[in-house]
Amino acid sequence: MSARQQATDRLMADYQGQVPGAALLVLHDGQPLYARGYGLASLEDNTPVDAQTNFRLASVSKQFTAMAIVLLAADGRLQLDDPLARWLPGLPPATRDITLRHLLVHASGLIDYEDVMPDGLQGQLRDADVLEILKGQDRTYFTPGSSYRYSNSAYALLALVVEKASGMAYPQFLHERIFSPLGMNASVARTDEGPAVAQRAWGYSHIDGQWQRTDQSPTSAVLGDGGIYSSISDLARWDAALYDQRLLPAQWLQQVFTPGNTVQGETDVSHYGLGVRLQGEMVWHSGESIGFRNVQIRWPQRKLSVIVLSNRNAPEPYALARRIAVIWGAPAP
């Protein structure tokens, strides 16, 4: 084992053993420099994490929702500056000036659906339920296009736009246009009626001194903002596709990484692109959901990427991933 690998394992020590674990991938120029699983995907079954373990990506999913919209724009099925109302009629007057681009870059000002969910909710919300909730909110946090506020509501609605513009269910569109072409054969937008997640990691939280399974919440079935499951093996294929034109022509792919909105109040984020955070050389996104904490960080100029997926409620792995990246050639934070 190399000195770099040993140093990396020391940083990942908290994920080793009979505890909820993590999958780590370090990529350079499309080749894995280090890929390893730590700890357990299922405490009940003693199943170890490996490179094929599929984690709920949470908000790391947003880059796939954004890519779906851009693919449809490249197809001529929609335009990024279309009014939202063209695709999802029935929203209240306060939202009439919102465009698809506003949704993509968190400039919509939409009310956070998590804050206005109905009392006594039975079961889980779906993306269509988010739309119904927002139809009752004739207000926005700010004039659309005038500011920034991170919005799960926006990405839930974008998944519905994908369905309207493509004529496919959102999970089917992702499979046919992104996952299957890239060979991401185990990646899915999970629904109860859809295929089971292969080699699934279950989410856990540390409660009263012990790990308890906390895999689902009332919002876990909303797909557009965070419902995709994938592995470091599949995400390596996704990372590679962001350097070439196998999914999108160059002029469209460039738009994904172009600053679309100025970000304030978030650490290490100066701008938001289309489903990605931007800061200096870095292109990245984190994901946090009940029982899962993930991060994907890319330095495209160096063709270096670090991905950490974990099935536990804490800690957030962003700072850890930055430290690991330095070992493998990234600039120090």
pLDDT at 227: 95
Q: Is residue 60 part of a domain?
A: yes
Contact 297, 19 (CB under 8 A): no
| Coil/strand/helix, residue 220 | coil
Q: Is 7 left (phi over 0), alpha (psi -120 to 50) or beta?
A: alpha
pLDDT at 320: 98
Q: Is residue 333 part of a domain?
A: no
Q: Assign 123 a pLDDT band (cuts: 50, 70, 90).
A: confident
pLDDT at 254: 96
Q: Is residue 332 part of a domain?
A: no
pLDDT at 16: 97
pLDDT at 117: 86
Number of domains in the chain: 1
Q: Is residue 15 part of a domain?
A: yes
pLDDT at 133: 95
Give pLDDT tens digits for 125-139.
999 999 999 999 999
Q: Is residue 194 part of a domain?
A: yes
CATH number at residue 304: 3.40.710.10
Q: Is the pLDDT of residue 121 over 80?
A: no
Note down the domain range covering 280: 3-327
Give pLDDT tens digits for 164-205.
999 999 999 999 999 999 999 999 999 888 888 999 999 999
The contacts found for 261-267 with CB under 8 angstroms, 24 or more apart, are 261/105, 261/106, 261/107, 261/148, 262/148, 263/106, 263/148, 264/148, 266/150
- Active-site residue, selected from the candidate residues 42, 59, 151, 233: 59
Give pLDDT tens digits for 74-108.
999 999 999 999 999 999 999 999 999 999 999 99
Q: Is 286 a catalytic residue?
A: no
List the one residue out of 139, 127, 48 whose CA is nearest residue 88.
Answer: 127
Q: Is residue 128 part of a domain?
A: yes
List the one residue out of 289, 82, 63 whose CA is nearest residue 178.
Answer: 63
Mean pLDDT of 106-132: 91
